[in-house]
Amino acid sequence: MSRPLDQLEATIAARKAAGDGESSYTAKLLVAGVEKIGSKITEEAAEVVEAAGEPGEEGRQHTIAEAGDVLYHLMVLLAARDIALSEVEQELARRFGMSGLEEKASRGK
Ligand SMILES: N=c1c2ncn([C@@H]3O[C@H](COP(=O)(O)OP(=O)(O)OP(=O)(O)O)[C@@H](O)[C@H]3O)c2ncn1[C@@H]1O[C@H](COP(=O)(O)O)[C@@H](O)[C@H]1O
């Protein structure tokens, strides 16, 4: 059984190939384009941050749900730009062993 993110990537690719913006939310977003997908990410990002500030188990579960929305919309954005999840994973792997503070300092920040 593949990982949920891999399964989601395959589903999004299939929706993109079908190109039917009527019956699928994903296809509708892809037809609308990067600007619309980006605005959904901004909206969902604000919602996950708000949820993370809510107390207790309810807030924790709300944060999980909102994080799912962010990840889904980010995956749709990657598909819109023909970027594979594996490419993002490679970028993250490239950063292993590199301190975030050192990387920041190397940019003069
Ligand atoms: N993981 C998701 C997923 N997460 C969130 N969403 C949708 O993202 C939308 C965002 O939430 P909002 O509350 O902002 O919705 P909204 O106000 O209707 O959105 P807008 O009109 O503002 O765009 C909701 O409609 C959710 O249903 C998702 N839609 C689809 N998926 C996955 O994609 C698959 C394919 O979905 P379809 O493309 O719709 O067939 C599904 O089986 C899921 O696995």
Domains of the chain: 4-83 (1.10.287.1080)
Task: Give me the pLDDT at residue 1, please.
Answer: 65
Whether ligand 1 lies within 6 angstroms of the CB of 24 is answered as yes
In order, the DSSP letters of 24-72 are -HHHHHHHH-HHHHHHHHHHHHHHHHHHHTS-HHHHHHHHHHHHHHHHH
The answer to whether the pTM exceeds 0.80 is yes
pLDDT tens digits, one per residue of 24-66: 999 999 999 999 999 999 999 999 999 999 999 999 999 999 9
Tell me if 80 sits within 8 A of 10, measured CB to CB: no
pLDDT tens digits, one per residue of 64-106: 999 999 999 999 999 999 999 999 999 999 999 878 788 778 7
- Select from 9, 72, 74, 76 the residue to mutate for testing ligand 1; criterion: most ligand atoms less than 8 Å from CB: 72
Distances (CA, A) of 66 to 60, 103, 106, 109: 10, 29, 33, 31
